[in-house]
A and B are shown apart, each in its own frame.
Chain A
Amino acid sequence: MKARAPRSLTALATAALMYLHLPILFVFLYAFTTEDAAFTFPPPGLTTRWFGVAAQNQDIRQALALSLMVAAVATATALILGTLAAGAVWRTKFFGRETLSLFIVLPIALPGIITGIALRSAISVTGISFSFWTLVIGHATFCVAVAYNNVIARMRRLNPNLLEASADLGASGWQTFRYVLIPQLGSAIVTGGMLAFALSFDEIIVTTFTAGNQQTLPIWIFSSLVRPRNRPVTNVVALLVIAITFVPIILSQRFAARTENQ
């Protein structure tokens, strides 16, 4: 059993945790405020009418649909790329292996603005026009790292005897792949996918640089903040973004914990 922590240490640690988590709770509160022009605390009154207003707003509905589409397509693309890359790096040594690993993490290690402006200048040089697909390219680029990290971590823990046993028992390469490898990797791929989806859904920086006049939900929020308008509705949309990213994150963690216990 571990020793008891000093009181002062616990107090400082608790304060740090509160610093990380309390602010977001105020977004919940302000989604219900009756005030529509300022951020007065405590709110003068509470109402649910902004949820109705937000639901009726065509811009918000379109932005939500676009964000979900981009996140879904980018996640699928990133999962394919990340899993293939993990498959290549796992148990094989080849020329440029380290370089490939570097390029996989670079899009999330570099500030988003570098990735964003790099993609924008490439798109501008090649003369491709900005569209839904340039958004997907941008998002998939930084989502690959998440997919790759999850899959490669699982592969490294995979017992190689399983694959050998399968071959010894007469399974073909395909059967080993289908009945041994895929079930082992499945949950890692799902976890990676959920995290990639959450990451893509609320991304703003790379999005800004790879979008033409498309408006994702984060871009809608950002433009509402820069030119203050629709304040109470912005609060509701902020709440929506939290909810939509929170669900896959929690699911992925439960999923990962369950596989770990098996």
Chain B
Amino acid sequence: MIRSLSTYLYTRRRFRLALLLALPVGWLVVVYGGSLGSLLLNSFFKIDSFSGTIDRSPTLETWRQVFTDANMAVAGRTIGMATAVTIASVLIGFPLAYRIARYTSGRTKTALVLAVLIPLWSSYLVRVYAWKLLLASEGVAAWAFNIVGASSVLNWILALPIVGGPSLSTSSLGQFIVFTYIWLPYMVLPMQAAVERLPESLLEASADLGASPATTFRQITWPLILPGVAAGSIFTFSLTLGDYIIPTIIGDSSPFIGLAIYSQQGVAGNLPLAAALAIIPVMVMGLYLTGARKLGAFEAL
């Protein structure tokens, strides 16, 4: 029975393919793709202001509510944070990626790559929470500043406009530190892969021809690892753009796109507006991916 069935499948390639594809396509393309479609559809519905129920006749009313100054300010803030986090991830991640790729091998390399990889898989929420303990006004960071006698420096930073706040855990600076901490591994791994592919001979040739390390970096290293950086930035940028957990736990509760979507959906029960707001990060990411593709990010993934 099984034997004749397997022979049948082996000879009927199209039928076999259909059998393999039915479930994954049904789930991902039909259910998930359909869900993304329904997101777009919902953004053309509106909430009935009297009954609070969803009015399913097509309207642009909800979209009109998206393009208000307040929402655009939220979008600008979020994109600003995503940009800052991406830049910081490059600056902090590069030495680590370079050190792993060029100066380690064998077991050490495996262990270090694993050390960067583990935070990607483990306990996103708990890792955010850990910073609540660190950044609280009575917490570890304030204690450390005090021990080295730099409490006045901390107070000076907290008094700054925009980045400051009552304590590190309720400031934009704290938010920025946590965002960078959470998404940093996404930048390090593709960067490290890009440095691995960097031909040693080019670096040596550059040095032999009298280039300073800075020139070599600018002329050789950076252009060649740029696709890896672009690949990493897709994640650091996109994930910051949509996150609402970090701004809820850390920061001064000033809104981000993710937070606005979450509260429209949850507290306000306005699914159409939440859906329309969710299209903003999708559109921004669409533009971003087009740019990243030009830099060769997709080959570096």
Which of A's residues lie within 8 Å of B, judged by CB?
Answer: 2-5, 9-10, 12-13, 16-17, 19-21, 23-24, 26-27, 30, 38-42, 80-82, 84-85, 87-88, 92, 94, 99-100, 103-104, 106-107, 109-115, 117-122, 124-125, 137, 140-141, 144, 172-174, 177, 195, 198-199, 202-205, 208-209, 218, 221-222, 225-226, 234, 238, 241-242, 245-246, 249, 253, 257
Contacts and interface: CB of A to CB of B under 8 A. Distances in A.
B176 interface: no
Given A112-B242, A222-B125, A222-B245, A39 B27 contact: no
A84 B24 contact: yes
Interface string B226-253: 0000000011001101111100110000
Contact of A110 (B38, B93, B271, B285): B285
B265 interface: yes
B211 interface: no
B35 interface: yes
B contacts with A: majority SS: helix
Contacts of B116: 17, 20
Nearest to A35: B138
B20 A117 contact: no
Contact of A92 (B6, B17, B98): B17
Interface of B: 2-3, 5-7, 9-10, 13, 17, 20-21, 23-25, 27-29, 31-36, 38-39, 41-42, 54, 92-93, 95-96, 98-100, 102-105, 110, 112, 114-119, 121-127, 129-134, 136, 138-140, 142-143, 181, 184-185, 188, 234-235, 238-239, 241-245, 248-249, 258, 261-262, 265-266, 271, 274-275, 278, 281-282, 285
B238 A16 contact: no
Contact of A17 (B3, B34, B115, B278): B115
Contacts of B235: 109
B86 to A, nearest CB: 14
Contact of A195 (B3, B95, B121, B258): B121
**Which has the most chain B C-beta neighbours within 10 Å: A88, A140, A234, A257?**
A88
Given A85-B20, A104-B24, A249-B121, 20 more contacts: A2-B105, A12-B95, A12-B99, A13-B96, A20-B181, A21-B119, A103-B28, A103-B29, A103-B32, A106-B32, A113-B258, A121-B35, A122-B31, A137-B31, A141-B32, A173-B6, A173-B9, A198-B121, A242-B126, A246-B122
Contacts of B39: 114, 117-118, 121-122
Contact of A118 (B20, B36, B114, B134): B36
A257 B110 contact: yes
Contacts of A112: 242-243
Given A19-B184, A144-B28, A245-B122, A117 B6 contact: no
Nearest to B9: A173
B140 A41 contact: yes
A38 B133 CA distance: 9
B126 A24 contact: yes
Contact of A121 (B115, B126, B271): B271
A159 to B, nearest CB: 19
A111 B243 contact: yes
A241 B123 contact: yes
Nearest to B56: A125
6 contacts: A16-B92, A27-B133, A114-B281, A120-B265, A204-B245, A222-B248
A contacts with B: majority SS: helix
Given A23-B131, A113-B243, A245 B115 contact: no
A13 B265 contact: no
A110 B185 contact: no
Contact of A122 (B21, B35, B93, B124): B35
B185 A39 contact: no
B114 A253 contact: yes
**Which has the most chain B C-beta neighbours within 10 Å: A3, A19, A106, A110?**
A110
B133 A111 contact: no
**Which has the most chain B C-beta neighbours within 10 Å: A41, A81, A253?**
A41
B77 to A, nearest CB: 16
A209 B244 CA distance: 12
**Which has the most chain A C-beta neighbours within 10 Å: B24, B33, B258, B262?**
B24
